[in-house]
Amino acid sequence: MSKDTVLLSTEQHGIAARLLAEGGVVVFATETVYGLGANAYDDAACRAIFAAKGRPVDNPCIVHILDEARLDDVIVGADEITRALFSVFSPGPLTVVGEKHAAIAPAATGDLDTVAVRIPAHPSARSILRAAGVPIAAPSANRSGKPSPTTFRAAVEAMCGRVDAIIDGGACSVGLESTVVTTESGCVRILRPGAITAEMIRERLGVRVEFANGGESRVSPGTRHPHYRPDARVLAVERAEIEPTIARTRGEMRTQPDRDAGIGIILLGDELPESTETRTIVFPTVEAMAAGLYESLLEFDRRGCGVVIVEMPPPYGLGTAVRDRLNRAAGRE
């Protein structure tokens, strides 16, 4: 596939919206990750998303809308919990699944009769939605299976030559894909953890919150496919396992002349007690780790690392979402 891709600067959202209205596919920034968008009413345009990504057609997109007033344009009969979730957490990194409105293109939802809906907070996404005046179907703008782009550079590397335009929205502040939930009789089920955490939903809405397990892959089809994997092999381990894992990996790479250049390390909180020759990125907080994780993995790929060793954050709050992505990046789920 080789298309002429226009690179747009931040203020050129009018051009991006016009391309979308004409049936084009445009990459734009959201607060989670860069998205690969098309008019959600235009079936041919939505099919072009899947071609650009190399994405299996049964893996549905998220449909983005500007505000809660437009919820009934995309979901039929949204329930009270759905409305409460949007009113508390939107605009923001939360996606809610509901019954699909007939006007939404079948390709946008992988032919499902449900639709996943989000109201993004990023000014670039909002300007484009406002100017386009239609809901925008957009999965993450990575090639299928790879980490999602969270910088303009990574979006260009992934999608130049495959889409009509890419608009610069800077670095994404959240850095992980949105929390995806379904609602049912007084309960919220998390299909994909994200920056809106189970703890936050419990506290703000006072409802029961559960995590869907592996058996739920029919409800959230995207979780079936390999995800978030850079070219390098990812070893995601707890803090206590970091140093033994580095030592073992060095041993395995003994035969390579520049073995340290071949290992990337991503840590949370503290440097290792002894400085090493390997390339290390240290994030001070889980939030910073979430924001920088994909770009770090892609940066180690650019530098030709064969292995990336990553410290798993603790398993609560935002750490749950980071661990989910790392487990998948490491091929564990």
* Nearer CB in complex with ligand AMP: 77/257: 77
Nearer CB in complex with ligand AMP: 112/171: 112
The entry of ligand AMP, Mg ion, none near residue 114 (CB within 5 to 8 angstroms by kind) is ligand AMP
In the chain, where does DSSP find H-type helix? 13-21, 43-53, 80-89, 123-132, 152-159, 198-205, 242-252, 286-302, 318-329
Q: Which residue, judged by CB position, is nearest to ligand AMP in the bound state?
A: 222
Q: Which of 164, 168, 177, 295 binds ligand AMP (CB under 6 A)?
A: 177
For 24-78, the three-class secondary structure string (H helix, E strand, C coil) is: CCEEECCCCCCEEEEECCCHHHHHHHHHHHCCCCCCCCEEECCCHHHHHHCEECC
- The region of 17-25, 122-130, 134-142, 293-301 touching Mg ion under the rule CB under 5 A is 134-142
Position 39: which residue type? N
Residue 126 has, within 13 A of its CA and on its CB side, a CA count of 10
Range 187-206, binding ligand AMP (CB under 6 A): 191-192
Cα-to-chain-centroid distance, residue 138: 11
Closest contact distance (angstroms) between CB of 224 and ligand AMP is: 9
Applying CB under 5 A, the site for Mg ion has a residue count of 1
Interacting residue with ligand AMP among 82, 124, 150, 223 (CB under 6 A): 223
Segment interacting with ligand AMP, rule: CB under 6 A, options 217-225, 237-245, 263-271, 310-318:
217-225
Q: Looking at residues 113 to 132 of the shown chain, list those that interact with ligand AMP (rule: CB under 6 A).
A: 114-116
Which has the closest alpha carbon to 72: 27, 29, 104?
104
The correct pick among 124, 140, 179, 278 for binding Mg ion (CB under 5 A) is 140
Please say whether the beta carbons of 86 and 64 come within 8 A: no
Nearer to Mg ion, 175 or 306 (CB): 175
Closest among 62, 46, 69 to 133, alpha carbons compared:
69
Rounded distance between C-alpha atoms, residue 199 and residue 92, angstroms: 16
In the complex, which residues of this chain contact ligand AMP (CB under 6 A)?
A: 59-60, 62, 97, 109, 112, 114-116, 139-140, 177, 180, 191-192, 219-223
In the complex, which residues of this chain contact Mg ion (CB under 5 A)?
A: 140
